[in-house]
Amino acid sequence: MTAAPRSNFASVVLDVDSTLSAIEGIDWLAARRGAEVSASVADLTDRAMRGAVALDAVFGTRLAMVRPSRKEVAALTAAYVAAVAPGAADAVRAMRGAGVRVVVVSGGLREAVAPFAATLGVPDADVHAVPVRFDAAGEFAGYDEASPMATATGKRTLVESLALPAPALAVGDGATDLAIRPVVAAFAAFTGFVKRDAVVSAADYLVPDFAHLQELVLR
């Protein structure tokens, strides 16, 4: 009988945009609004992920520029799935199979993120993102402005409140992911899609893909 793999971490916190999936969800939605909006939103996203501007300062601005409909958010789920990081599903399955608690913590839209995470085997209760609202016609009607995920340090606040099994590893590509570092055992900069120098330089580990992440977590 084969022994179950042991783990170096009891919990793993995963980002979505440019980590579990190649795309940045809000940028993907903005591309449906023309070149000018697309460029403006992409610039704000990049600045926030580099830590050049607080996410708090741009989150509502980007959504106000895009105002995605229910149908477009559902299409974003499909786009996440189509652009899933190679090996992500296998790594999540292996980690969960070894008893590792895997949670998804994203500044993306919950209505797109949660169905995507479900395709990877992450239950809804372990998915944390920003809820959006739609009116009766399915048009954008706002978002949860109280969500910590819409702020620069909200991921840290959220992860701390979860009291995850220790030791915990946070994984992501941006400044909002790095913000989790003070409340977990270690932070891994995911560089499979984008490499941000400020994030990389402060990371405990660099992981270029999910095969490397699986190897880091399981032994």
User: For residue 5, is it within any domain?
Assistant: no
User: For residue 65, is it within any domain?
Assistant: yes
Task: Please give the pLDDT value at position 219.
Answer: 80
User: For residue 150, is it within any domain?
Assistant: yes
Show the domain range for 35. 11-217
User: For residue 1, is it within any domain?
Assistant: no
Task: Please give the pLDDT value at position 7.
Answer: 82
CATH number of the domain to which 137 belongs: 3.40.50.1000
Q: What letter represents residue 162's amino acid?
A: L
User: Taking the CA atoms of the chain, what radius of gyration do you get in angstroms?
Assistant: 17
Q: Quick one: tokens of 45?
A: 């996203």
Element (H, E) at 170: strand 168-172
- What is the pTM for the complete model shown? 0.93
User: For residue 51, is it within any domain?
Assistant: yes
DSSP letters along 87-149, please? THHHHHHHHHHTT-EEEEEEEEEHHHHHHHHHHTT--GGGEEEE-EEE-TTS-EEEE-TT-GG
With a cut of 50, list the residues of the chain below it in pLDDT.
1-2
Task: Please give the pLDDT value at position 47.
Answer: 93
User: Cβ atoms within 10 A of the Cβ of 199, count?
Assistant: 24
User: For residue 2, is it within any domain?
Assistant: no
pLDDT digits 0-9 by tens, 68-84: 999 999 999 999 999 99
Task: Please give the pLDDT value at position 5.
Answer: 61
Number of domains in the chain: 1
